[in-house]
């Protein structure tokens, strides 16, 4: 994880989407009752809330001090322990967890060690659950993302050109990564359409939570957000639809 997520937990919590209930039904279908779960990078607890609501005992690894404090205040329960640490460095017991859950966070873990780290923490038969939030190509966006790209080009000229968005039947990279290891059984993949509609103000909060926005100085950031707001209000009737597919990859520890 990197520091910009830690600067404004309230904005992050308000702007970022949660996850669909059927996803959690799939996760808990392969877990014992009242499971012990290690959570990777919980942020403000978008996934943590669902885990706790299903009687899990959660040990959350959150390196951001402000996010860790926010998480403790948000969930004052003995069923949650928050470690102010990265997943790689957290002092966690080996072979102690029924599941390792990473909700839109596994890509922040060192790819050289993330599968072996999850493997060593899981009990025999324990489950790795990797959840990703994927923006996809779909006409439901009414052309907003293509039309707004010139604004981004002016404020972020050094950024790489945007790559083509995937279709709704995408296969996330974690599936191929798991196929290349003998630490886990063949994974199961689930997809959930999860389109999000934002008013102009709500969408600006979402954009504020992105890393490239945080890297702008205060003056350019205000100009960028102001220009974006005017564009949405004038050309897109004051709202943006973000086409999303949430993917869930489940893989059991093999040995």
**What pLDDT does 3 receive?**
53
Which token pair is 67? 């996010």
d(CA 217, CA 59) in angstroms, rounded, equals 35
- Please identify which residue in the block is written with the tokens 């966070």: 105
d(CA 112, CA 130) in angstroms, rounded, equals 16
Residues of the chain with pLDDT under 50: 1-2
The contacts of residue 108 (CB under 8 Å, 6+ apart) are: 1, 2, 41
**What pLDDT does 159 receive?**
84
Q: How many C-beta atoms lie closer than 10 Å to residue 78's C-beta? A: 6
**What pLDDT does 2 receive?**
45
Supply the pTM of this predicted model: 0.94
Looking at domain 3-137+164-195+243-252, its CATH architecture is 3-Layer(aba) Sandwich (3.40)
Sign of the torsion angle spanned by Cα atoms 93, 94, 96, 98? positive
**What pLDDT does 5 receive?**
66
Angle between helices 218-235 and 200-208 (to 10 degrees): 150
Per-residue pLDDT of 46-100, as tens digits, reads 999 999 999 999 999 999 999 999 999 999 999 999 999 999 999 999 999 999 9
d(CA 129, CA 112) in angstroms, rounded, equals 18
**What pLDDT does 1 receive?**
41
**What pLDDT does 158 receive?**
87
Angle between helices 218-235 and 144-155 (to 10 degrees): 160
**What pLDDT does 214 receive?**
85
Which token pair is 115? 């599968």
d(CA 184, CA 40) in angstroms, rounded, equals 18
d(CA 9, CA 15) in angstroms, rounded, equals 10
Residue 178 and residue 115 in contact, taking contact as beta carbons nearer than 8 Å: yes
d(CA 13, CA 6) in angstroms, rounded, equals 11
């Amino acid at each position: 994880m990197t520091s910009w997520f830690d600067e404004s937990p309230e904005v992050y919590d308000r702007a970022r989407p949660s996850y669909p209930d059927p996803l959690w039904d799939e996760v808990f279908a392969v877990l014992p009752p009242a499971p012990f779960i290690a959570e990777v990078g919980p942020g403000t607890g978008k996934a943590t809330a669902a885990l706790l609501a299903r009687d899990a005992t959660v040990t959350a690894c959150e390196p951001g001090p402000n996010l860790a404090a926010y998480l403790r205040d948000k969930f004052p329960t003995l069923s949650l322990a928050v470690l102010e640490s990265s997943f790689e460095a957290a002092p966690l017991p080996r072979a102690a967890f029924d599941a390792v859950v990473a909700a839109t966070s596994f890509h922040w873990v060192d790819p050289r060690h993330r599968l072996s780290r999850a493997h060593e923490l899981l009990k025999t038969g324990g489950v790795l659950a990797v959840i990703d939030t994927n923006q996809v190509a779909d006409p439901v966006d009414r052309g907003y993302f293509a039309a707004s790209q010139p604004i981004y080009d002016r404020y972020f000229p050094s950024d790489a050109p945007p790559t083509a968005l995937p279709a709704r039947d995408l296969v996330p990279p974690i599936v191929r990564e798991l196929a290349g290891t003998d630490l886990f059984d063949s994974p199961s993949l689930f997809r959930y359409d999860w389109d999000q509609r934002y008013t102009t103000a709500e969408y600006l909060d979402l954009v504020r939570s992105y890393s490239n926005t945080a890297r702008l100085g205060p003056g350019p950031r205000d100009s960028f957000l102001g220009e974006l707001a005017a564009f949405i209000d004038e050309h897109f009737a004051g709202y943006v639809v973000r086409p999303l597919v949430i993917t869930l990859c489940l893989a059991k520890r093999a040995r």
